Amino acid sequence: MKIHVSVLFLLITLSLGAQNIAQLDYGGHLTFKPNTTAFLFGDNVKLRKAPDTTSEELALLRIGTEVTLLEITEVSKAINGFNSKWIKIKTDIYEGYLLDTFLSTATFIDLNYVTLINFKRDTTETLHLRLRFYDTQTTQYEEKTYKLPHESIHVAHLGAKGLDALSNILHVNYTPEACGMDSGGRCFFIKNNTIVEALSLYAVSEAGQFWQSEALVFPADDATIGRGHFKFAQEIGTVIDEDSQWYKKTIVERQYQIIEGKITPEFRSAYKN
């Protein structure tokens, strides 16, 4: 039996000055709660007087608008591969209804730049991560979409973690709930509204036979790592005799920097999985 183990990360929910670091667990549906705030993922979203697409239009809401969630209704509409629920919200001026698919599920704000997250399913029911990078000064945004291996994931905005070349690290951790599902994760290194790098990490084990795990360690979490550097740590182990706890391990560690928008030295250039 093959058991996949997710990559371990220190995932913390914090608020640091102008930065809002948020995280979410996604297990097949979007979840919003009343009496909380959210940001618009969609642009020029129609705010309705009632939870119906034929209802009176009260306003057009721009991407990045902060709203307060008042009520999660049971009325839904199929859109982007989901049964999206109507939510009653309020802004500084308006109060009305919109579909939850137009809200960001986790948002990171750094000065004039906002990172917004949402999901969609394609016609084959495959889940995709949607990232929008919104510039509040120009009111322009760019979208990136990434295919996900399954629907059990954890997403966290980590902040810069001591890497001066970045404004945020977005970690997507695959958390399988059954054997045979893909594991590991992906780290997006973000500077303002640009993805500098997207690094894949792996984790897998065969019960009683072997395991492999990978992680990134940042200076904010380990004082032995110089500021501006980060460490890749990989452990591969073989079980020789489980009863006597006889194991053989190989550990690979290497430090990297981000210089002029590129990871130096080239990531994984010196070794293979």
Q: Is 18 exposed, middle or buried (0-12, 13-18, 19+ CB in 10 A)?
A: exposed
Residue 167: CB partners within 8 Å, gap ≥ 6? Answer: 110, 111, 113, 160, 190, 191, 192
* 167 vs 161: CA distance, rounded Å: 9
Average pLDDT over residues 107-136: 88
Are 121 and 115 in contact by the 8 Å Cβ rule? The answer is: no
Q: Which of 119, 136, 137 is nearest to 128 (CA)?
A: 119
Q: Is 167 left (phi over 0), alpha (psi -120 to 50) or beta?
A: alpha
- Quote the pTM value: 0.78
**How does DSSP classify residue 101?**
G
Average pLDDT over residues 239-253: 92
Where is average pLDDT lowest: 23-27, 91-95, 109-113? 23-27
Q: For residue 105, what pLDDT band results from cuts at 50, 70 and 90?
A: confident
Structure confidence by residue, pLDDT tens digits, 195-212: 888 898 888 877 778 888
